[in-house]
Every structure is written in structure tokens, then in C-alpha cells.
Chains A and B, each alone.
Chain A
Amino acid sequence: MDKHTAAIPTLTIKVVLLGESAVGKSSIVLRFVSDDFKESKEPTIGAAFLTKRITRDGKVIKFEIWDTAGQERFAPLAPMYYRNAQAALVVFDVTNEGSFYKAQNWVEELHEKVGHDIVIALVGNKMDLLNNDDENENRAMKAPAVQNLCERENLLYFEASAKTGENIYQIFQTLGEKVPCPEQNTRQSSTHDRTITDNQRIDLESTTVESTRETGGCNC
């Protein structure tokens, strides 16, 4: 968040990512939060917590993202994270049919346990693996099956690729629009009496060499 967004109203959205192991949940989050992608990523242990702020229509949206592990042994953790979530990303791999059926189970569980207030986005990840000339060749799930699920369960649907970054930002942007904005969630930062100019600010996180020089060489 930059220096000037302090006085802008902030909407906090808690998002949980669900889906089978190795469908690319962590890669989607990494692409959104850090605009980065790692070819070989370690499987997530438990649930990872990340945050990201985006500015939309003059207001700051802060995403609190819980990236859950897809492995079966971590399944008991999921309810803790989707219980209070305002949005859920249910991810499947477009080249793996099994992951779609698992995603279907997650959607049903969410509606059963949380109700229909939660905004659910179904994300077909790894679009980069599909052959552009003949998309249906490698595609495990055909469009009607996905469309049918989305209509039946009232889901947002995105086809994305964490590797290329295709559609990743749009997913979260759409979630920001779709999640209702409660009054108590928007908070105005109080303005201080004394205004601090930019050149008076001290950046505590800076570890530049210039600051070291002024302190006088080594610490021996």
C-alpha cells in the first residue's frame, strides 16, 4: 500500500482457496500477490496466509487470502477457514477430470456448511497446457459439464493460468465487485493534526547502503 492510500476507505475481504492437490492454488495466489510463478512448488502444508491490497473505484480492497492444502490429510482444516470467508475460489485443473469432481464436492460442501451468502468462483487453472489449435484435445472437462455446474450452483467461472498470469487479476477484481460492502467493514483512517511531508518520512524497512555509510562503516 503506498503512502497516499492511508485516507482511502478500506474493504477487507476474506478469501479461501479450495481444491484438489496440485491444481495450482498456491500458484494462483503467488501470481496475484507477488506477480511471480515457480515451476516446481512444494506442496502447501496446512494453510498459508497472504494479503494483497488493490485499489478499485476510489476504494482500497484488502484481500486476506487463506491458501489451504489440497492433500487429504489436511481436509479437517478447511472448515476453519471457509467458515467466516466472504469469498471462495474453488480451483480445478482443466487437464485433470478428477480435480473437477473434487471441486464439485467442495462447492456442495460450501453451500451445505456456509450457505449461499458466500461468493464462490470456480477457476479452471493451467489453461497454458491446452493446445490453442485444438483446445478440446487436452481438455479433460468439456464446457457443458462446467456450465451446468455453474448454473446449478450459481458460481462465477474463470479459466486462468497462473503460469502466464492470464485472468488471475480479473478473478480477484470480480470477487471485489461481487462481495457486498458492509458499512462496518469500511473504515476511514483518522487524519492526524500534524501532517508529515514525504521527505520527513523514515522508511524503517529500507536497508540501503547509504544509511550504512552515514553510521560509519563496520561494527567491529
Chain B
Amino acid sequence: MDLENVSCPICLRKFDNLQALNAHLDVEHGFNDNEDSLGSNDSRLVNGKQKKARSVDSSAQKLKRSHWEKFKKGKSCCHTCGRTLNNNIGAINCRKCGKLYCRRHLPNMIKLNLSAQYDPRNGKWYNCCHDCFVTKPGYNDYGEVIDLTPEFFKVRNIKREDKNLRLLQLENRFVRLVDGLITLYNTYSRSIIHNLKMNSEMSKLERTVTPWRDDRSVLFCNICSEPFGLLLRKHHCRLCGMVVCDDANRNCSNEISIGYLMSAASDLPFEYNIQKDDLLHIPISIRLCSHCIDMLFIGRKFNKDVRMPLSGIFAKYDSMQNISKVIDSLLPIFEDSLNSLKVETAKDSENTLDPKNLNDLARLRHKLLNSFNLYNTLTRQLLSVEPQSHLERQLQNSIKIASAAYINEKILPLKSLPAILNPEGHKTNEDGQKAEPEVKKLSQLMIENLTIKEVKELREELMVLKEQSYLIESTIQDYKKQRRLEEIVTLNKNLEELHSRIHTVQSKLGDHGFN
């Protein structure tokens, strides 16, 4: 670059050298201000020495600096990264808050007035820290909102329309197939010869409803991708024509009675009425793949369930939950008291219990027994409610099992206290005063010589053993299918051992085992 005859980039005036141009820029165009935005404490670090900034125009107003943090060599640190500031990394004050930063952490510019306040209209641009930059008014106010909802709706509607179209197509095929099959049944169901004719006619009808895929080219089930073979046979879905298997475990396809299908989709415009024409027990089944079943019936089932009112089971169950909360809060207190009582008794040489503690414990036990009684009553009431559906019956059974397990588990500590703690134990003496409860030895507080801990351990073992015997039984079933006879012998031996061990544990537990 030619350093002679340089011109001012603003007013295009020519200068002999660079120094003259710099002086011109400082005086005429106010570039002296920029030193403000770079310097620190009115001075700059140059080669480790502080050099006073030139004051070009003393009359020019300057930015407020009284709030600036003073630079101390070797002590001042950057407020963001914590590095000690020196001439290599720079030491610059944020023009707004006055804190010291290194060059790297003072990247932002902000418009400030001479009082170092944010002034977007009349202010000049100055360096500031990240915190001051993001806390300025309106920093986050003017973001652009891009609404993609219409595009989303567009894409979604295309998919929904496709799905609805497919559903409509399936429904039409389904109605045609059902009506056709019932017509054929009514026409040909008189004799055996007619029956043979009916079967061939039905086969023709099924193929006219939807074109069947050529099964010779299909090697795998369309749904589960299992290869077809001697044991896994090919079948066509009567609504979509796809080739699927009939594996019972994977449920890829099912033969469903025509009456059941009609009652499940009673809103469709069939020619025949299921009640009027008595079609519920008609001996015709249609093979449908799981995809078609889902598409046709899941939505209908959901809508039906939504319309059904909630039953009384839920209110009863809610009350049961409240009672169980009461039991859960009282039981730990009872167990703690019982344990401390046992510890006292163990220390005592005569092995007797303190009557006062015994009374408190009896009261607590009585309260707990009442709660259990109420819980049990509510369970019975819940079970007496007539279920409205198969699901409700399942729910009732689950609640029955859960409540039985709950009572079994929680009532165990109550059995640790002998029967004398019942109200009958508190007899009155001749004066009509309440007599102290009869005191018994600790050994009598044990459940048939088993401690609570032992009962719990035996129960856990019993659960594990039952779980294992179930696993072994299912393994035996699998091995039978695979004809692995040698392994079955070994597993049967193991199963016998498990059963004998289960029997032993159950006999140890007695009444405290699982039914």
C-alpha cells in the first residue's frame, strides 16, 4: 500500500502521510471517541506500560467512567473466564456496568448515552459485556414467529384422507362380502350337495371382493415376516388380499364369525339385520388379517368405550385406597412399638411386658383391625357390583387379588400380638375397676415358633420357587414342541424337586402361606 498521498475515506481530502490522516480523522471526524471504546480507565496497556490517551478535544463530552472497575496489574481478572488480565489478552471495561473483561469476552456493541444508560435512539455504539447485552430492554421482544400450522395440517390431512379412503374401501368390501355370504348361505344351506356348491360360490365371491395376491411368489408372512413352511401355512385376508400366516401366538390372521363381526360394526349399512334375521349363530367365518381388523374395529371399540358411563366400581375402589392410606400410616407406628416392647422383654429377666405399653398397643391394634375390617367390607361390596363388561370383570378380579395380597401382607404384624390384647382380655375385678391385662411370655408372641422375619423370608422363598416352577413348566412345554426329550427328563426331575421344596416351605408356613 502506498503510504504517501493518502486520502481521507470520509471527505476524500488528500494527505502527505498516514500521521496527518490520523490527526485529521481524530480532530475533524471525532474518531478519538473510539479510544473510549477500547481503552481502560482512560489509559491503555502498551507493552506493559500505561500510556495516557490523547485528549484531542477537551471540550468534547465524554462517556461516564466513574463506575468503571480499576485495573490492577496481576490482580484484575476477567469476570467471564476468570483469567488474569494483561496486555496480551487485553483489559477492557464494559461501558455499561464497568466490569473488567478480556477482549474475547467483550464481543457485543450497545447504544449508550453519556450517562452509560441504554439509549437506542440518540446513543453511540460502545462495547459491552454479554450480561448487559442480554438484559437491555426489548432484547427478546422482537423475535420472528413462523407459524407452520397450515403446512402441518396440510400434510396431516393428506395422511388422514388416505387413511379414511382406505377405511372406506375396506368398509365397502366388508359390507359386500358379508351381504354376499349371507345371501349364499340363505340360498344354499338346505342340503349337503347345496353345501358343496355354496363353498365354491363363496370362494368365488371372496375373490371378486378383492383381488388375491399370488401366493406362489410370497415366501414370508406379510405381517410377522416368518417364512412359510409345513407348520406355518399361507392364508389370504378376505379384505385386502394379502398373504398372511395363521400363527396363534402372533395373531397375524384370525377366522372370525360373521355374526360377531356384524355386531362389532353394527353402524355399517348391511342388507340384513343381525337381530331380525337371527344371524348371531350363522356358521360362516371370515379370515381377516390383523391390520384390517385394527383398521375396521379399533376406532369403533374406542368410541363405544368412551360412550359407556363409569361404573360404581371406581367409587368403591377410591374408598378402599383411602382406608389403605390410613393403614399404611398406622402400621409403622404399631410395628415400632411392638419391636421396642420385644426389646424390653428380652432385657427383662422375667420376660414380661409392661401393662401401660400393652394397653397403648392394644388400642392401636384395635384401630388397625377395624380399618382392615372396613377395607375388607369395601372389597366385598366392590365385588358384589355387577360388572358391565368383560373389562370390568377383569378389573374386579385384579382388585380382589390385590386386596387379598395387601391384607395378607399388612396383617402379619398384628398376629404377633396374642389374643389377650383383644377387648375381652381387659377383664374387670371385684371393684368394677379395669384389671391389668394378663401378661404372657414373649415366646407366646411368636407365630407358631416363627418370627415375622422368618415368615417373610419363607414367603419370599415360596414366591421364588413358584416362579421357577412356572418357568420350568413353560420350558418343558417348549421342549415338547421341539421334541427335545432328553432335556425334558432333566427338567421333569428338577420340577419334582421344586414341587417337593414348595411343599416343605408351605408346610412350614402353615396358615401364613399363599393360597
**A residues whose Cβ falls under 8 Å from a Cβ of B:** 45-47, 49, 51, 64, 73-74, 76-77, 80, 204-209, 211-213, 215, 217-220
**Are the CB atoms of A73 and B464 closer together than 8 Å?**
yes
Contact of B229 among A47, A64, A208 (CB under 8 A): A208
Q: Which 8 A-B pairs have the closest CB atoms?
A: A207-B229, A218-B234, A219-B233, A46-B468, A218-B215, A76-B461, A217-B215, A220-B236
**Are the CB atoms of B227 and A45 closer together than 8 Å?**
no
Beta-carbon nearest neighbor of B466 in chain A: A46
Beta-carbon nearest neighbor of B479 in chain A: A49
**Are the CB atoms of A77 and B464 closer together than 8 Å?**
yes
Beta-carbon nearest neighbor of B229 in chain A: A207
User: Which residues of chain B are near A205, meaning CB under 8 Å?
Assistant: 482
The reply to whether the CB of B287 lies closer than 8 angstroms to some CB of chain A is yes
User: Which of B69-77, B82-90, B487-495 makes up part of the contact surface?
Assistant: B487-495
CB distance from A13 to the nearest CB of B (A): 12
| In the bound complex, CA of A142 to CA of B172 (Å) | 75
Q: A46-B464, A47-B468, A76-B461 are in contact. List 7 more A-B contacts (CB 8 A).
A: A46-B468, A49-B491, A73-B464, A76-B465, A204-B483, A208-B227, A217-B216
27 sample A-B contacts, Cβ–Cβ < 8 Å, listed by A number = A46-B471, A49-B487, A49-B491, A51-B486, A51-B487, A73-B460, A74-B464, A76-B465, A77-B465, A80-B497, A80-B501, A205-B482, A207-B228, A207-B230, A207-B232, A209-B227, A209-B228, A211-B230, A213-B216, A215-B230, A217-B234, A218-B233, A218-B235, A218-B243, A219-B233, A219-B235, A220-B234
**Are the CB atoms of B465 and A212 closer together than 8 Å?**
no
The reply to whether the CB of B219 lies closer than 8 angstroms to some CB of chain A is yes
**B residues whose Cβ falls under 8 Å from a Cβ of A:** 215-216, 219, 227-236, 243, 246, 287, 460-461, 464-465, 467-468, 471-472, 475, 482-483, 486-487, 490-491, 494, 497-498, 501
CB distance from B36 to the nearest CB of A (A): 56
CB distance from A188 to the nearest CB of B (A): 15
**Are the CB atoms of B234 and A219 closer together than 8 Å?**
yes
Contact of A77 among B219, B229, B232, B468 (CB under 8 A): B468
| In the bound complex, CA of A51 to CA of B236 (Å) | 39
**Are the CB atoms of A64 and B490 closer together than 8 Å?**
yes
| In the bound complex, CA of A49 to CA of B490 (Å) | 10
User: Which residues of chain A are near B482, meaning CB under 8 Å?
Assistant: 205
User: Which residues of chain A are near B471, meaning CB under 8 Å?
Assistant: 45-46
CB distance from B484 to the nearest CB of A (A): 8
**Are the CB atoms of A46 and B229 closer together than 8 Å?**
no
Beta-carbon nearest neighbor of A51 in chain B: B487
**Are the CB atoms of B475 and A49 closer together than 8 Å?**
yes
| In the bound complex, CA of A47 to CA of B494 (Å) | 11
User: Which residues of chain A are near B497, meaning CB under 8 Å?
Assistant: 80
User: Which residues of chain A are near B215, meaning CB under 8 Å?
Assistant: 217-218
User: Which residues of chain A are near B236, meaning CB under 8 Å?
Assistant: 218, 220
Beta-carbon nearest neighbor of A209 in chain B: B219
User: Which residues of chain B are near A206, meaning CB under 8 Å?
Assistant: 229-230
User: If A45-B471, A220-B234 touch, does A211 touch B465 (CB 8 Å cutoff)?
Assistant: no
| In the bound complex, CA of A174 to CA of B436 (Å) | 73
Interface of A is mostly: mixed
CB distance from B502 to the nearest CB of A (A): 11
CB distance from A26 to the nearest CB of B (A): 14
CB distance from A17 to the nearest CB of B (A): 15
User: Which residues of chain B are near A220, meaning CB under 8 Å?
Assistant: 234-236, 287
Contact of A45 among B246, B461, B467 (CB under 8 A): B467
Beta-carbon nearest neighbor of A215 in chain B: B230
CB distance from B259 to the nearest CB of A (A): 21
Most buried by A among B229, B483, B491: B229
Contact of B231 among A76, A80, A207, A213 (CB under 8 A): A207
| In the bound complex, CA of A111 to CA of B233 (Å) | 54
**Are the CB atoms of A207 and B227 closer together than 8 Å?**
yes
| In the bound complex, CA of A11 to CA of B450 (Å) | 45
**Are the CB atoms of A46 and B487 closer together than 8 Å?**
no
User: Which residues of chain A are near B246, meaning CB under 8 Å?
Assistant: 219
| In the bound complex, CA of A76 to CA of B456 (Å) | 13
Beta-carbon nearest neighbor of A71 in chain B: B464
| In the bound complex, CA of A206 to CA of B231 (Å) | 9
User: Which residues of chain A are near B498, meaning CB under 8 Å?
Assistant: 80
| In the bound complex, CA of A205 to CA of B486 (Å) | 17
**Are the CB atoms of A212 and B229 closer together than 8 Å?**
yes
| In the bound complex, CA of A206 to CA of B228 (Å) | 11
User: Which residues of chain A are near B228, meaning CB under 8 Å?
Assistant: 207, 209, 212
Most buried by B among A73, A209, A212: A212
CB distance from A217 to the nearest CB of B (A): 5
User: Which residues of chain A are near B216, meaning CB under 8 Å?
Assistant: 213, 217
| In the bound complex, CA of A45 to CA of B465 (Å) | 11
| In the bound complex, CA of A212 to CA of B227 (Å) | 10
User: Which residues of chain A are near B490, meaning CB under 8 Å?
Assistant: 49, 64
User: Which residues of chain A are near B465, meaning CB under 8 Å?
Assistant: 76-77
| In the bound complex, CA of A73 to CA of B227 (Å) | 41
User: Which residues of chain B are near A217, meaning CB under 8 Å?
Assistant: 215-216, 234
CB distance from A63 to the nearest CB of B (A): 12
Beta-carbon nearest neighbor of A10 in chain B: B486
**Are the CB atoms of B229 and A209 closer together than 8 Å?**
yes
User: Which residues of chain B are near A64, meaning CB under 8 Å?
Assistant: 487, 490
CB distance from B465 to the nearest CB of A (A): 7
| In the bound complex, CA of A219 to CA of B234 (Å) | 5
**Are the CB atoms of B467 and A46 closer together than 8 Å?**
yes
User: Which residues of chain B are near A77, meaning CB under 8 Å?
Assistant: 464-465, 468
